[in-house]
Amino acid sequence: MTIVNDILQQMPGLGQPQRKFLATLFVTILVLRGRVNFRNLSRYGNDAERTIARQFREPFDWPDFPQRVLMTARDLRSELVSAHDASFIPQSGKQTFGLGHFFNGCASRAEHGLEISTLAVVEVTRRCAFTLAVAPTPPGEDAKKTGQEETRVDFSLQQLRAHRHRLPPGVTHHCVDGYYAKKKYIDEVVHLDLHAITKLRSDADCGVSLLRSTPEATRGTAQV
């Protein structure tokens, strides 16, 4: 955990109690198996539940931390690409923000739970990845009002736009699966000066986007 302590020391606005708590938190999450939340973390450490809850309320620049980890741990000689995908998280609660029916790839069907949208940087040379930003997709009920598929795509492209500046300068290609092969998403990727690598679906309707792309971007996009 030396790298974590060093990065926390570099981040402005953190007091010693918060640095100590965050270092302990990261270690605890790594060694625990199963679901983790602040209500059960007190079982595995010296901090009381009230102390943990108070520390979680303290402001912390979460997007800045993984960016610093990436810039510290990555190999400067490695080839880099960015990647964007969603993951399903089972959830049995009724009040959790973002609950809805989302596609569970492990079960190959839609199930009740949560979905998180993840933006990552992949080291192609070393075959490893660094998570750059994670956020829950919009709640199921709100998404249904305007069409769930379109709402989730809008959220994903907003996430990419918000964190584009955090990608290392060497990243020029952006990898996504067929779900993201929508015209407005590909348009945004091109606008952000990235080349999309994806497998186009029959309903992708990305002809205009591909015409706007450079020849290199067109060659980097998989065929329908």
- Beta-carbon neighbour count of residue 36 at 10 Å? 14
Q: How far is CA 223 from the centre of its chain?
A: 26
SS3 (DSSP) at 165: helix
pLDDT band at 29 (very low <50, low <70, confident <90, very high): confident
At residue 3, the pLDDT reads 87
Cα separation, 212 vs 214, whole angstroms: 7
A 10 A CB-CB count for 180 gives 24
Q: pTM higher than 0.85, yes or no?
A: no
Mean pLDDT (whole number) for 9-24 = 91
Domain architecture of the chain: domains with CATH: 1-60 (no CATH), 61-220 (3.90.350.10)
Q: What is the pLDDT of residues 154-193, one digit of tens each?
A: 999 999 999 999 999 989 999 998 888 888 999 999 999 9
> Of 9-13, 96-100, 120-124, 128-132, which gets the smallest average pLDDT?
96-100
* Tens digits of residue pLDDT in 194-209: 999 987 666 555 554 4
Q: What is the pLDDT of residue 92?
A: 65
pLDDT band at residue 140 under the 50/70/90 scheme: low
